[in-house]
Chain A
Amino acid sequence: MHYRYILTGLMLTANLAIADEQVVVITNRDVPVETLDNNQVTQIFLRQVQSWPDGKTIQPIDIKEGSALRTEFYSKVTGRSPGQLRAYWARQAFTGMGVPPRQAATEEEAERLVQTTPGAIGYVGKKEADESVKIVLEPDKTAP
């Protein structure tokens, strides 16, 4: 019985650790912007804005649903819950007006795709972001 409590506690701690990790928005180094605000990133990840200022296509890279980082990103940056997001994409997909962003299985894969895909933008935990990508938004710093 004790083991079960300990295990549950560890799992909760692990989840909180992930959820507490600061999320940052990163882009491919060739993207012609240095900073973005919450509204701009929201428009990009909802695929309302589809091109960079130089006319090149934006390639948003999402992380699979169920990831604590994804929930944190959408909550902090877009203010939308997972349910609201799913309803939004259901509308886009089933009315033929849009498709969701490409999805990476993990943070590591998201960062690799942002590194290697021209025009890509994604989000990772702050610890994951290295010199190979540009950090364009730190929601925790911009939050009131």
Chain B
Amino acid sequence: MDLPCRHALYTKAWAIKTHTEISMPALSRSFARTSIMAALLALASPSSPLANEFSDSFHVSAFGTLGLTHNDNPSTGILTSFAQKKPAEEGWSPNLDSVLGLQLEWRPLESTSVVVQGAARAGDDLKPMLRMAFLRQDLGHGFSARVGRMRSPLYFDSDVTEIGYAYLMTRPPIPLYGIANTVSYIDGVDIQWRNNIANAVVLAQGYYGKSGYTHYLRNFDSEADANLEGIHGLAISLITPHVTLRASRTWANEYTLRSDAITQLNQGTVLLGGGLRAMASNPLLPAGMAAALLHKAQQVEGFANPYDNSPVYTSLGFDATVDAWRLLGEATQFDSQSQMVGKYEGYQLTLGYNFDEFTPFVSIAKQRRKGDSLDLSSLAPTGLDPTIDAGLSQMQAGLAQASQYADISSRSYSLGVRWDFHNNMALKLQYDRIETPSAWTPGPFAVTTLPIDNKVNLFTATLDFAF
């Protein structure tokens, strides 16, 4: 490298160092709102890391969305995930899409990098959350590995869901991504393998880890701790210059949901199960009836922790850019392997057309519950003990209602335009109509009581940026 070139790189490195020094105090104040904005403004320069040379080993970058959404429905709040604390209620709200993110990347060697990313969402009171914190190592022969916290790979756009600037629309369709966004990260390891085959690139990603989040149970007016253990899966992408195809399947060995409301339900199952066992132990009962009561006791006790399951997430999607056209599509299946939570199939199709800085788009999405609903026949009265029967009826009614609240079926129609009006900034306007199959289906909405007005009209304006 000759001297002028070295000088240019030195000057560049100095510029980055200066920006870093400006932004570091903001970091130390833990994402305080004004400091984040100051840091973002400090980064908003031609020497920002997205546009930087890789000869610098330390990079600071940021992304964000300032958004306002109007919801015309007084009976439902709108969420992008079930882990979102504050929904976008009737009227105008910043809660749905507004987010600020900051990323630090250190590359001590060409083949080694450490990445830490935090995000603070308006819907979560701007509480900072760790989205990525991993060590990446290139292993040679097309292999690389990451260890630490990574963004979720469940669906095609799961990893980009809150990075509005990187997405065509304001957000991936809520009917499909409400459930996928809820599992926003995996703590664990992934191995990636990239290889050229003919004129395409194959990228295979295997992953293993665990995740967790706070699940807001609006109908119980409470929150629950959700944990996913033993998450493992494989995603295979076929990448050509203009089309990316991706197929993935992810299993979680165990999903658990724990809260005070669920503990109360569990206590009820123990009491009722104990009552049924006591009845079965009556020596005056015929043997067949005693055995039936014991079986019923087991079934009742089986309703403890009714939301626990072993989910399987499947996605088959594509992203095509052909001349000015952009077409995205995805088919998904979410199978909780639990009658309470259910099995769902869905799809989305999005079409955009690029006119210079403007890209208008339309999108449809649908997710429907499939398979059997929760079988509560084992909670039918015994006809032997009024107190036990009253308890069984109460539990039957409670679980029937809980099952109704667990139905996340919905569909959406969206129309909007993206305007890339400035380097690294885009304005988007989007209209969504989201509806559930009936007034008794809450879908992905934040609902405290049923029935609801099951049709929602949303109007969203966002400013997305990435520096």
Interface residues of A (CB under 8 A from B): 38-40, 42-43, 46, 48-51, 64-66, 78-84, 86-91, 93-97, 99-105, 109, 112-113, 116
Task: Let me know if A87 and B194 touch, CB within 8 A.
Answer: no
Task: Let me know if B115 and A90 touch, CB within 8 A.
Answer: no
Task: Let me know if B51 and A103 touch, CB within 8 A.
Answer: yes
* Size of B's binding interface in residues, CB under 8 A: 52
Centre residue among B55, B151, B166, B199 by max chain A CB count within 10 A: B166
Residues on B with C-beta less than 8 A from A101 are 54
Residues on B with C-beta less than 8 A from A88 are 166
A133 CB, nearest partner CB in chain B, Å? 15
Contact among B46, B136, B160, B321 with A64 in the assembled complex (CB-CB below 8 Å)? B46
Which of B1-9, B260-268, B281-289 participates in binding chain A? B1-9
Task: Let me know if A96 and B132 touch, CB within 8 A.
Answer: yes
Which of B16-24, B78-86, B238-246 participates in binding chain A? B238-246
Residues on A with C-beta less than 8 A from B61 are 93-94
Interface residues of B (CB under 8 A from A): 1-2, 5, 8, 46, 49-55, 61, 63, 101, 103, 105, 115, 117, 132, 134, 136, 142, 146, 150-151, 159-160, 163, 165-168, 194, 196, 199, 201, 239-242, 321, 323, 354, 356-357, 359, 420, 423-424, 426, 466
Known: A83-B354, A100-B50, A112-B1. 5 other contacts (CB 8 A): A43-B240, A81-B357, A91-B160, A94-B166, A96-B146
Residues on A with C-beta less than 8 A from B199 are 39-40
Q: How far is the CA of A109 from the CA of B166 in the complex (A)?
A: 29
Interface of chain B: mostly helix, strand, loop or mixed: mixed
B56 CB, nearest partner CB in chain A, Å? 10
CB contacts between A and B, total, < 8 Å: 121
Contact among B1, B54, B132, B424 with A86 in the assembled complex (CB-CB below 8 Å)? B424
Residues on B with C-beta less than 8 A from A84 are 321, 354
Task: Let me know if B165 and A79 touch, CB within 8 A.
Answer: no
Q: How far is the CA of A97 from the CA of B423 in the complex (A)?
A: 22
Task: Let me know if A94 and B466 touch, CB within 8 A.
Answer: yes
